[in-house]
A and B are shown apart, each in its own frame.
Chain A
Amino acid sequence: MPKAPDTVTLELPAHVRWLPAAQAVVEHGAPTLGLPPKKVVRLVMAVEEIFVHLARTTPGCAVLLRLLRRGSSVQAVFRFQADVEDLWAMNLTAAQELTPTDENMDHMGLLLAAGVSDGFSITREGGTVQLVLSQDKVYPETTPSDRGLTAARGALRMVDDPHPAEVAEACALARGLYPAEKLHPDLSMAGKLVDNAAGGGIVLSVAKDDAGAILGMMFWEQTSERSVGFCGPYVFSQNSGPVAKALTENMLNCLARSRTIGVCSRRATDDLPLEGFEALARIHYCHKNIVCAEQRIWFRLLREDDGAVIWAHAGMVDFLEETYARLSLMRDIRTVENIGIEMPARSVLAAELNQELSEAYLRVLIPGLDVEENIRKHAAHLRSSGYENIFFTLDLALGEQACLGGALMANGFEPALVLPFAGKSDLVVFQHVAPRS
């Protein structure tokens, strides 16, 4: 008998009389999927708000609600036919313009749902909207180890399915030996890394010696259908070169016959064997307004590049031509100013925030007529909240995203690097330049 997926699916009409059913599925299902009580309450609250919003704005429409575990988080996924016009209240900046009046009640619910969730995303396929609300499970913090570097004994071997205790030890060693900007956030919670590996979101391998000592770790995750982001190699051996080389080659060999075309890292350590990688760019990175440094971004393709067609706003073309020439990547660049399709009045941007690194990554979920103003508001909001490293990514396969280059450049963003195949096609990453004081 095939094993049933660990998920609950409910199809119901968007009407308040069905709200208890939706609540009950989350309230009873989320603990079964491993979410602790406080987090269950938050997920129930977010689901209620979305459901009530749909009951008010699209009464009676069919709603598919799915509850599932994805690595270290539990997700509530809504699928429904709706206009995306009203989803603007999920913007990070929406709180600034919403006051709790009757007229704003629908939007207040969305704002609340976004606010209590650890993450959310919105995608559209034709007229179908998919909205995902995530709550992360809670893990104890991993204490950094002060053990230092190990003297390896005997031959080196790779373990692609390490025991959770070995992962915990590797996390502690990495935290003890590497600076914060080289550490993936999951390293501070080994249990989260283990769950994400078990859920298939992350692939990790450790290097061990004959005596079983852990000499290094590397892990990677699919960042798009055809690209992988990696972290490491984290090396805990006194003789770092062979361990770093073995970890890196092991990753490349694991990916060699997969769908992945390119690997990239913005958190590669100084142990990375550079002869196997290409320098994509240097990013100016600030931390707590005191330490500013250049961070190098490394990448490599795994396959022969046949070239591609991409879209770009005219203002980005010089940057792209220079970048592609430097990387010997063949691209037909087609300019786009305005794709000419009808757009909703309000746009929605997604924000991935890392407070510890003072880092924010923005991308557009729903392009709208107000997108330029929305970009400006987001940049201002993040700056005023203390974020010093603000980025915006555009997928150059999509004309409706590529044409936003002009709006970004008009609001203090500059193109900083191209990530080949990191989206549907290449991603261009813009960085917000701090206003001169």
Chain B
Amino acid sequence: MSLPALDRLVPAHIQRFEPYYPSKPDHVLKRMYHVDTLHRLNNNENPLGPPAAVHRLVESFSPETVPVYPNGDCFDLRLQLAQKFSKDPDQFLVGNGSCEVISSVIKAFCEEGDNIITADKTFAVYEWVAEFSGIEARLIPLREGAFDPQAMLEAMDERTKILFVCNPNNPTGTYWDADTMKDFLERAGDGRIIVLDEAYFEYVDKADYPNGMELMRQHPNIIVFRTFSKMYALAAARIGYLCGSPEVVNIVRRTHIVYSVNTLAQMAAAAALEDDGPFIQATRRMVSEAKSLLCSLFDELGLEYVANEGNYVMVRLPMPDTLMYRKLMTRGIMVRTMTGFRFPNWIRVSLVERPVMEMFCQAFTEALRES
């Protein structure tokens, strides 16, 4: 038997699409780079977490639960989310990470010939899912590091179905304030879906930061994405959710895979929401302290940097980002290179506890001196 005729079987948009290969597991990387420990500052994880209630839950998780399917649509968690945000449980859909809900939304609203609009330098998954689904992704250049509302509106046409706004933006940390958002929503009208990706919502402590959960009361075409991977430190459990008006969510539910969120993830997410206030405050303090430390270092070294909202900062290097990555890896520090985000020669660094930040500062300074 020979291979099937892939060039005839595979749609053109899939043939054009390049597969994404994530980094190798730590044990492989440590062996390749000859290091005993590896501090991951590449995925914006929260090293403080998860909250204490999740620790207790995981420790008491019974193996007898494992043979039984999870609840197919995260019934209990949706009830809890509804209570927390004063909404109806049917306004929520939970996915295997927010990547899954991105996919569900695009599948629900787009067909061949349609387009989505987002920024050129933002979370890549909106663009990827659109392209491997055969949908055009219109990428609008950032303006002064932020999403450009005017250019996004000008890019719309009758086949535009969804506008994705990452607020705050990963990786620049910029956000649209309440006035900018209000103006954008009014001018965009109600003919399209507006996705507000608030993956880093809990990290923002600014009075003028708009809350998508509130905005959707006046704008039922809004869908909000949130995740448990960032602030709540459940990245390994892969769980995120969307919230929208019941009618819109009813449409998305038709393309959304059921049973994709495992039982432990559902229970852990529910536990994480219990009394999350002190945990969020502690995390914000850690991030603020780490941000001050790094900004001071970058100022001292005379390097351009971007330190806005979220638990990450970006810094521009006088060398390739991919070279800095390798130099830091040999010192047991892993950062995110930003060429793939179309920021060549920038790296993004997750903000974590002080001892690890100090290790980063030392390794970074040494690597710069070497070059």
Listed in ascending order, the chain A residues whose CB lies under 8 Å from chain B are: 249, 252-253, 256-259, 275-278, 300-307, 327-330, 332
Contact = CB atoms under 8 A, between A and B. Distances in A.
Contact of A257 (B18, B23, B319): B18
B273 interface: no
Given A275-B319, A278-B323, 19 more contacts: A256-B340, A256-B341, A256-B344, A275-B317, A276-B319, A276-B345, A278-B320, A300-B323, A302-B322, A303-B322, A304-B23, A306-B28, A306-B29, A307-B28, A328-B326, A328-B327, A329-B326, A330-B33, A330-B329
A277 B320 contact: yes
Nearest to B120: A253
B99 to A, nearest CB: 16
A303 B28 CA distance: 17
Contacts of A253: 120, 342, 344
A332 B33 CA distance: 10
Contact of A304 (B325, B330, B341): B325
Given A252-B339, A306-B28, A328-B327, A300 B322 contact: yes
Contacts of A306: 23-24, 28-29, 32
Interface string B299-343: 000000000000000000111101101110110000001011110
A220 B12 CA distance: 23
A328 B323 contact: yes
Contacts, number: 74
B52 interface: no
Interface residues on chain B, size class: 20 to 34
Contact of A275 (B128, B342, B345): B345
B58 interface: no
A330 B32 contact: yes
Nearest to B131: A257
A328 to B, nearest CB: 4
By Cβ-Cβ distance, the 4 closest A-B pairs, closest first, are A307-B32, A301-B322, A328-B326, A330-B32
B155 interface: no
14 contacts: A249-B344, A257-B124, A257-B340, A276-B319, A276-B320, A276-B344, A276-B345, A302-B339, A302-B340, A303-B322, A304-B322, A307-B33, A328-B327, A330-B34
Contacts of B18: 257-259
B340 A303 contact: yes
Contacts of B340: 256-257, 302-303
B170 to A, nearest CB: 15
Contacts of A302: 322, 339-340
Interface in B336-368: 337, 339-342, 344-345
Contacts of A327: 326
A395 B329 CA distance: 26
Contacts of A303: 322, 337, 339-340
A246 to B, nearest CB: 12
A353 B322 CA distance: 33
Given A277-B320, A300-B322, A304-B322, A256 B342 contact: yes
B302 to A, nearest CB: 13
A276 B24 CA distance: 25
Nearest to B335: A304
Nearest to B338: A256
Nearest to B318: A275
A402 to B, nearest CB: 20
Contacts of A328: 323, 326-327, 330
Nearest to A300: B320
A95 B333 CA distance: 58
A256 B24 contact: no
Contacts of A275: 317-319, 345
Interface string B173-212: 0000000000000000000000000000000000000000
Interface centre among B127, B317, B319, B339 (most CB of A within 10 A): B339
B344 A252 contact: yes
A258 B128 CA distance: 11
A8 to B, nearest CB: 17
Contacts of B339: 252, 256, 302-303
Nearest to A302: B339
A252 B341 CA distance: 10
A334 to B, nearest CB: 14
A278 B325 CA distance: 13
Contacts of B330: 328
Interface in B86-138: 120, 124, 127-128
A330 B322 CA distance: 13
Contacts of A252: 339, 342, 344
Interface centre among A302, A305, A328 (most CB of B within 10 A): A328
Contacts of B326: 305, 327-330
A266 to B, nearest CB: 18
B349 to A, nearest CB: 14
B166 to A, nearest CB: 16
